[in-house]
Chains A and B, each alone.
Chain A
Amino acid sequence: MASLHVLANPARFRRFCQRALPALSALTAVVLLAGLWLALVQSPPDYQQGETVRIMFLHVPSAWLAMAGYALLAVLGASLLVWRHPLAALMARAAAPVGAVFAAVCLLTGSLWGRPMWGTYWVWDARLTSMLLLFFLYLGHIALSRAYDDAERGDRAAAILALVGVINLPVIKFSVDWWNTLHQPASVMKLGGPSIHPAILTPLLVMAVALLLLFVVLVMLRTETEIDRRRLEAAERAS
């Protein structure tokens, strides 16, 4: 925890990003290539979904990361509002577009899976609708953080939205249990362990790790840029 506290300083975090990003990017590329090989070449067709199961290797990790990204925004929002954490606002600005892209990938790949499997691209099912709401919450966060001339006001407004919107996360997770949905119930993150065959579970988990690493790389890269952008703005104001 002490080392995490040290990284709370934007200048130190920026230096940490500059040192860690090359190695982390290389690791991400290796794991992503391995994941794509497992997902597209090595894994067998599913006994029910056939080859279409390969969409799940993108869809499911994207959904997890979209939800985890929003939880991160909420934690950063609380850090900003309660402790006025200097890095929290910058990281939230950096992370929101990343989460929005993963939410969009989840929605679009799910839609492309739904057409051959369910016979439709979209239904107003509780899981799909709550996931669409998460995407709109991300867009709201991005818009609010950029809506004011005073960046601090925008960051605080976006932080409040992040904290209010976090209520949507359990709704997404438990929507398949609370309502009678077309979307299937949880098959990986559930009590009693995953109910997926290892031949399908392995590529899914490797792709999840690869996309998680990509998410972290993107957030670090964008946070470093936000820190530099604030330095540039401060220099412009001073001159």
Chain B
Amino acid sequence: MNHTPFILAAYVVALIGIGGLLVASLVARARVKRALGMRGLDRR
């Protein structure tokens, strides 16, 4: 049995799962910061 597809699939799963969560978290943060900015609450 060729093991390479299983190794590639494992790293792709991790990339999609963890990378996807990172992107979603960054998008959520940007959205909340924008909403705070619109209300004038975007102090550092």
Contact = CB atoms under 8 A, between A and B. Distances in A.
B38 to A, nearest CB: 10
A235 B28 CA distance: 18
B3 A116 contact: yes
B36 to A, nearest CB: 6
B3 A52 contact: yes
Interface string A29-60: 00000000000100000000011101100110
B29 A101 contact: no
Contacts of B39: 232, 235
Given A50-B3, A52-B3, A218-B25, A232 B10 contact: no
- Give the interface residue-count category, chain B: 20 to 34
Nearest to B9: A112
Interface residues of A, number: 35
Interface string A107-130: 011001101100000000000000
Contacts of A218: 18, 21-22, 25
A104 B3 CA distance: 21
Contacts of B33: 228
A113 B13 CA distance: 12
Contact of A116 (B6, B11, B35): B6
Contacts of B10: 54-55, 58-59, 108-109, 112-113
Q: State the main secondary structure of chain A at its contact with B.
A: helix
B44 to A, nearest CB: 7
B4 A51 contact: yes
A86 to B, nearest CB: 18
Interface in A206-239: 211, 214, 218, 221-222, 224-225, 228-229, 231-232, 235
A235 B3 CA distance: 55
Nearest to A94: B25
A229 B32 contact: yes
Contacts of B25: 218, 221-222, 225
Given A109-B13, A115-B6, 7 more contacts: A54-B7, A55-B6, A101-B21, A218-B21, A228-B29, A231-B36, A235-B39
19 contacts: A52-B7, A54-B7, A55-B10, A58-B10, A58-B11, A98-B21, A101-B18, A105-B13, A108-B17, A109-B10, A112-B9, A112-B10, A116-B6, A221-B25, A221-B26, A222-B28, A225-B25, A225-B29, A228-B32
